[in-house]
Structure 1
Amino acid sequence: TYYVSERDQRFRYPSVIQNFIKTWAELTFNWDSKLPGTNETDSGIKVNSKRVPTSTYFASLLMEPEFGKASLDKIAELVPSTVFSGQVRSTIIISFLSEPREIRPGEWEVDMIATRLIVDRSLGKDERIPFNRTFRIKAVEIQTSPLGDQASAFEQKVYEIRSAGLEINKITEFNPQ
């Protein structure tokens, strides 16, 4: 049974907002030498003189456009080139996601406590980096591809990841005070 009710166009269920943040974090920080969900080698996307994994590029599309572009530059600095050869792998372990706090209609904050785990297979060591952040998210228009099933795989992926109708417009250090 489905329950249908009329809602403001900026309304988003808390679980949708939390899943959106979780998706962004996983796309941004889960790195290996394969394209997600395939056995194909990921050569990455060039960002200035560096590269980021393809999934990280897609994660930047979940952000306000200029913020996403600027974030790619910063994230590219964190990605070792050995990710693309499979020597280094990375994942994010999310320990806590807060309930969204509505700042104003159509805008929320969510706190995340997580750890980035980076494993260097050739050295047999790992590094654990705390990643505790507060995200500011806003509702945006939910768009669908004008080409539908006829769209390229790239275009379909872009519209798929933006289907929550949300956009990150600010990320700050999490302060529990």
Structure 2
Amino acid sequence: MVRLLEKKKQTVNILTIFAIATFGLQVLLLLFLMMQGLNIRQLSLRKQPNFVQMVDGKPVDNTDNLARDPEGIRQFVSKTMTSIFNWSGTLPPQTIEEVGNPKPDLGILIKTPSGGSQKVTTSSWIGSFALSEDFRKGFLSQIAVMTPPEVFANNQEQVISGKLVIKRVYPPKEIEPGKWQVGMVADLIQTKKSDGKKLIVPFNKDILVRAVDYFDYPQVEQLTVLQRAIYAVRAEQLEIYEMRNLCLIDAYDNLQGANSNQCEIERKTGNFTR
């Protein structure tokens, strides 16, 4: 009888120890999951670092999130401005068949400063996403005013095309960390397809560029063609936030002349959309 009681008492002690140990493991597991959750939240709130910048398809070493390669900035300015002033009247080809037979560009309606609406090309609209949000709206309004309605005409006798011919893009001049001033000398050329007559307008601008963060869309396979193009523009991690008239001295070969009093007056009165 005494032996039976001793065995029963021993069994109860083992079960109690096992229950306490199991409870302790569950508490540790709960603490571990809470720590993991906090780590994941911190990662989701952290800004995406600029690990690699591409120039001509080649990676550029970069440890400063605000640093950008000068040649990369020049290429960004050239591509953006060329895209914005591409008034071909057709959409960029998406297939081999469309190379020889491109689709007509129906344009996108934009409100003008006068309160009406005029069209900009799809290329201009996509390229404008390389601008800061506060600058983009006013800039697009001005582009809508500048874009001839004949760009979207079905009558070949009336069709007008336009393109920006860039003569020179000056090396970026850093004005503060993560911000640069880039001078561009170009001509905006409008051509009437029926007789080949051209209208050439000088387009010389001081373009202010700054570094920005970029977050890719998590479900790339669900993006439309337009959305892919917009995300590709923002992937440059740069944006244009202001544009001014560029004061040209000595046939645009003397950038230092832009510091003269005459140039300062022209800049103050010649902001593009500010």
Same fold (TM over 0.5): yes
Give the TM-score normalised by structure 2.
0.61
Q: Confirm whether residue 60 of structure 1 aligns to residue 128 of structure 2.
A: yes
Alpha carbons 1:145, 1:156 under 8 Å: kept: no
What is the rounded CA distance, in whole Å, between the counterparts of 1:112 and 1:155 in structure 2? 28
Runs of 4+ with deviation above 6 angstroms:
none
Q: Which amino acid letter does the alignment assign opposite residue 160 of structure 1?
A: A
Aligned to 2:149: 81
* Cα pair distance change 1:52/1:97, threshold 3 Å: same
How many residues of Structure 1 are paired with residues of Structure 2 in the alignment? 176
Offset from partner CA, 1:86-122 (integer Å, 9 cap, x none): 6101111101001111111110010000011100123
State the identity as a percent: 30
Aligned to 1:43: 106
Q: Which amino acid letter does the alignment assign opposite residue 62 of structure 1?
A: A
* Cα pair distance change 1:31/1:9, threshold 3 Å: same
Greater RCO (Cα-Cα under 8 Å, separation 6 or more): 1
Alpha carbons 1:143, 1:159 under 8 Å: kept: no
What is the rounded CA distance, in whole Å, between the counterparts of 1:140 and 1:59 in structure 2? 16
Aligned to 2:199: 127
Equivalent runs, 1:26-175 vs 2, <5 Å: 26-37=82-93, 38=98, 39-48=102-111, 49-85=117-153, 87-175=159-247
Q: Which amino acid letter does the alignment assign opposite residue 139 of structure 2?
A: S
What is the rounded CA distance, in whole Å, between the counterparts of 2:242 and 2:172 in structure 1? 14
Alpha carbons 1:98, 1:112 under 8 Å: kept: yes
What is the rounded CA distance, in whole Å, between the counterparts of 2:222 and 2:247 in structure 1? 46
Give the TM-score normalised by structure 1.
0.93
Offset from partner CA, 1:12-66 (integer Å, 9 cap, x none): 1111111111111111111111012351111011112100000111121111112
Aligned to 1:11: 67
Return the structure number with greater strand share.
Answer: 1
Return the structure number with greater helix share.
Answer: 2
The structure that has the greater radius of gyration is: 2
Which moves more between the two structures, 13-22 or 2-11?
2-11
- The CA RMSD measured in Å over matched residues stands at 1.6
Q: Which amino acid letter does the alignment assign opposite residue 94 of structure 1?
A: I
Q: Secondary structure at the match of 1:60?
A: helix
- In structure 2, the gaps of 5 or more residues are 1-57, 112-116, 249-256, 258-274
Alpha carbons 1:140, 1:165 under 8 Å: kept: yes
